[in-house]
Amino acid sequence: PEVLKDLDKRGLLFAAPKFEHDYPHCWRCGTPLIYYARSSWFIKVTEVKEDLIRNNKEINWIPKSIGEGRFGDWLENIQDWGISRNRYWGTPLNIWECPGCGNQTAIGSRKELAEKTGDPAAETVELHRPYIDRFFIKCEKCGQDMKRVPEVIDCWFDSGAMPFAQLHYPFENKELFDKQFPAQFISEAVDQTRGWFYSLHAEATLLFNKPAFKNVIVLGLVQDENGQKMSKSKGNAVDPFEALATYGADAIRWYFYTNSAPWLPSRFAGKTVQEGQRGFLGTLWNTYAFFVLYANIDGFSAAKYKLEPDKLPVMDRWILSRLMSTIGGVDEDLENYRIPEAGKKLAAYVDDLSNWYVRRCRERFWAGGMEQDKINAYMTLWTCLVEISKAAAPMVPFMTEEIYRNLVTTDFPTAPKSVHLCDFPAVDASLIDKALEKDMEIIRDIVVLGRSCRNTANIKNRQPIARMFVRMNADMADADIAGNAMATAVITEELNVKEITFTDDVREFTSYSFKPQLKTVGPKYGKLVGAIGAALKTLDGNAAMDELNEKSEMVLDAGGEKVTLTKEDLLIEMTQKEGFVSMEDYGITVVLDTNLTQELIDEGIVNEVISKLQNMRKDAGFEVTDHIEMSVTGSDRVAAIVKAHEKAITDKVLAERVDYENACGEAKAWDLGEDKVTLGVKKIG
């Protein structure tokens, strides 16, 4: 009422005696609408149109196209706001009208009602109750009894009053209101652009000449997996409670955060949600489970130690640098409403943590005792899990809470009791080493290319290879890779290669072949395509590639005519010398020597046997610390190879003895290429 009185005094409230309304004959039944005229009350928002437009320009709309387009266009064509409704429920207008002369007056409080009516009982009446109709006010113009207009306010008007009504302003809490208004941030679906967003904006402009909010993020609608709007009548609506029971809240939240920008429509499909379960969520949980498994075995508690950066090996320093870079990147993305980008950074980090750091450091956790290197590994992984859980908590609140409470609150009684009571993690710049991160990225690129070479040659990673060659482009000259002991160790271990050589020239092993790219060469040279193809076959591959890299083009004689070709005009394929396989990408060329000696083949058999025995231990349900007896039967050749490398094998699988005559315990036949062997495992004790 106070708002309406203020608007009335400023001439922004008026009544229209006959205004055509539309009514559904029956709610959502699809029958025709009935139109008839009624008297209605309006707010003259057209009077403040320029203020509405100006205030809108102060708002940071995400995306801007909604604020400038859908909402901005709405303001440009604004019409006066009909706020009265003939309904039973809602805030009453509390306007009295004279049936004689049509004079009207607004009542804003019980005290004012008592003064106008001369009846002290009015001070005890709730203004929204129907029985205030028994009070009469004398018309100041003609003296007749005025009666309350039996109408309520548009519910959207109530919603727009939220910023001040929730604080009972202006009657109290002025300082709190001044502190909280305008709001820092609001969010709703796109269908509220001309609903709640508008009512907030209109009332803030009408009453305070300010925008109601500083930032607004507009959410797109959820569609079915075929891109259709969900509807109960169409039968394609997803029951949210069934989805929660099937996939879990974290998985569904993660899907919406990472599937697309929030303001774009999202297609909801169970299989896509499950990809997130298997990917980010599954990887994070498995990494946490790995830590818990070995921490329990060793009785490790982070409260007993501290992270000492100056004592850390390179892998620890790298993953901590990646942690801090990721936290900084996620914080910046969230600050700028780049939600999927933040999620992808988290996912990339967790993938690095699991599939590179933990996989490469597993044996550090397996070591006996509690030496400094093992402490470093535990503290590094503990720190990474705790801090990345804090960063991911807004997106996956339940899993991160489980991880945090187990890793932190159990051992640190004074720490916040929940991850959601923690501050967003701060970036420790002293732990960031961008050069190391870049070097590790190059190392991983080399490993990826090396694995591609192995796949091309159909050589498993457990089969050792004698040597490999790596060439990097000149723009990688600053990278500390060639001659770096860490880099050499990581690459050779990952690719199971005995020797690595960094070189500026791999021409001894590789060349290039060229074919015309028909979709570009055809339109340019037409009938000369055949002659161009023939000319390309005669080229010295390496020399032609040098010319192409140096000049960004090559010149050919095709059937007596001069032809100029760029990389876009060519299909380029790297070729290799027999016995060598090469791959090129990321500005890197990797060449593997695929010639295998008998010694290398035997070592490959040893690795296969170890792998199979480890799998059998796991399948049999043995603990990682259980010692076993093992057997090797069915192949004299494999048995001889195992005998020659017996200690290396038994140390890996915790075997106390090997039986070469009789199969023991859980026995299983395996196909090791040309050899077929039966292996057995039996727990001792």
Tell which wins on pLDDT, 157 or 475. Answer: 157
Name the phi and psi angles at 86, rounded to 5. -90, 80
Q: For 214-232, how does the pLDDT look when each residue is reduced to its tens digit (9 = 90+)? A: 999 888 888 888 888 887 7
What CA dihedral angle connects 216, 222, 226 and 232, to 10 degrees? Answer: -150
Indicate whether 261 pLDDT > 90. Answer: no
Interval 655-680 mean pLDDT: 93
Q: For 264-288, how does the pLDDT look when each residue is reduced to its tens digit (9 = 90+)? A: 888 888 888 888 788 899 999 999 9
Indicate whether 123 pLDDT > 60. Answer: yes
Q: How confident is the model at residue 2, as a pLDDT?
A: 73
Q: Is 509 exposed, middle or buried (0-12, 13-18, 19+ CB in 10 A)?
A: buried
**Window from 112-121, 341-350, 416-425, 588-597 with minimum mean pLDDT:** 112-121
Which one-letter amino acid corresponds to residue 256? F
Please tell me the distance from the alpha carbon of residue 211 to that of residue 61, in angstroms, as a whole number: 12
**Window from 84-93, 201-210, 668-677 with minimum mean pLDDT:** 84-93
Interval 63-67 mean pLDDT: 89
Confidence band, pLDDT 50/70/90 cuts, at residue 153: confident
Interval 491-512 mean pLDDT: 89
Please tell me the distance from the alpha carbon of residue 84 to that of residue 106, in angstroms, as a whole number: 14
Mean pLDDT of the chain: 88
CA 190 to chain centre: 21
SS3 515: strand
Confidence (pTM): 0.74
Q: For 172-204, how does the pLDDT look when each residue is reduced to its tens digit (9 = 90+)? A: 999 999 999 999 989 888 888 888 889 999 999
Indicate whether 544 pLDDT > 70. Answer: yes
Please tell me the distance from the alpha carbon of residue 493 to that of residue 360, in angstroms, as a whole number: 9
Q: For 618-660, how does the pLDDT look when each residue is reduced to its tens digit (9 = 90+)? A: 999 998 889 999 999 999 999 999 999 999 999 999 999 999 9
Confidence band, pLDDT 50/70/90 cuts, at residue 4: confident
Confidence band, pLDDT 50/70/90 cuts, at residue 22: low
Q: For 287-321, how does the pLDDT look when each residue is reduced to its tens digit (9 = 90+)? A: 999 999 999 999 999 999 999 988 899 999 999 99
The DSSP bridge partners found for residue 106 are 95
Q: How confident is the model at residue 507, as a pLDDT?
A: 80
Distance between the two ends of the chain, CA-based, in angstroms? 84
Tokens found for residue 19: 């205004």
The DSSP bridge partners found for residue 183 are 213
Q: How confident is the model at residue 130, as a pLDDT?
A: 58
